[in-house]
Amino acid sequence: MATQTTFTKPNRPLTWLITGSSSGLGLSLARAAQSNGHIVIATSRQPSRTPALVSEITQNGGEWHTLDVNSATAASELVSKLESAGHRIDVLVNNAGYAILGAVEQFSDEELRAQMETVYFGPSRLIRVVVPGMRERRFGVVVNISSGAGLEGRDSMGAYAAAKAAMDGLCKVLGKEVAPFNVRLLTVWLGVFNTQFGTGCLSAANPLPVDYVGSVAAHMLDTIRNGKLVADGDKDKAAKAIYEVVVGEGVGAGHESEAFLPLGRDMIPRVELVRDRLIHALDVFGDVAGNVYVEKE
């Protein structure tokens, strides 16, 4: 069994780069970091739409920059600009995103690619331009705001689940690669929180086949599209928990080496379901798995 890596943190305010800061969890996390004396670099696609929030962050010593994660060059341009101004990014939070909903067979290639662009390729570009500096300085934390959809799968969320699962897979590997350089990856699996996630969801252009009428997928689509999704999770409490786990205080004290953070009461049975599925697979096929080896002569 591999030994657990011990991560250390410098005793100074950290510089946080947070995507999707104009609402929801991103805004709550920006406020949590800033209220605890850290330097926040907030980003959104159109800062002009939220002038009051931009003023709040900048008046409290932070910065707000335009960033469209879908742009092939925006990440490298922004990070170069920040580094030229003397910023050293200590914490990268990949939070920006959206979901397109529908049964899997409804999605077009264009819709699937657009979902992957925002939820997978955009964050991966940021990671590739930020992590080298973290590695060279021998400190950094990358936080990816993921979803129970990517972990467990949820009817109507096939495109979103695929993109989140892809990012989760990338970060599992990256976390192993950069751990020797005191750089940590933290994947946050969110349940349903009181953000604008539901209202921001898109729908597949192709119609839902009639065979799906009355299905779980159809019910989920109706629930989310019509604003019936009841959020049990408090985004401010989630932001506080993420902040504490990143800096190793409060609920995060002594847990600086943890790679996964499930948040939300609804996430508990979903994590348990994934665990039980894996155990069941080994119970049923463990003997088969262990008996498909190459016979030695």
**28 is an active site residue:** no
Rounded Cα gap, residues 40 and 29, in angstroms: 10
Kindly list the distances between the CA atom of residue 138 and the CA atoms of 54, 90, 98, 124, 179, in Å, as whole numbers in the listed order. 31, 10, 32, 20, 10
**146 is an active site residue:** yes
Rounded Cα gap, residues 31 and 175, in angstroms: 26
Catalytic one among 120, 160, 212, 243? Answer: 160
Q: Name every residue whose Cβ is closer than 8 Å to that of residue 251 and which is 6 or more positions away in sequence.
A: 241, 244, 245
Joined tokens for residue 151? 């972990």
Phi, psi of 65 (to 5 degrees): -125, 150
**203 is an active site residue:** no
Q: Name every residue whose Cβ is closer than 8 Å to that of residue 231 and which is 6 or more positions away in sequence.
A: 192, 193, 194, 195, 198
Pairing of strands 260-263, 202-203: unpaired
Joined tokens for residue 83? 């580094």
Catalytic one among 164, 212, 235, 240? Answer: 164
Catalytic one among 146, 156, 212, 235? Answer: 146
Report the 3 state secondary structure along 100-146: EEECHHHCCHHHHHHHHHHHHHHHHHHHHHHHHHHHHHCCEEEEEEE
Q: Is residue 179 helix, strand or coil? A: helix
Q: Could you give the residue numbers annotated as active site?
A: 146, 160, 164
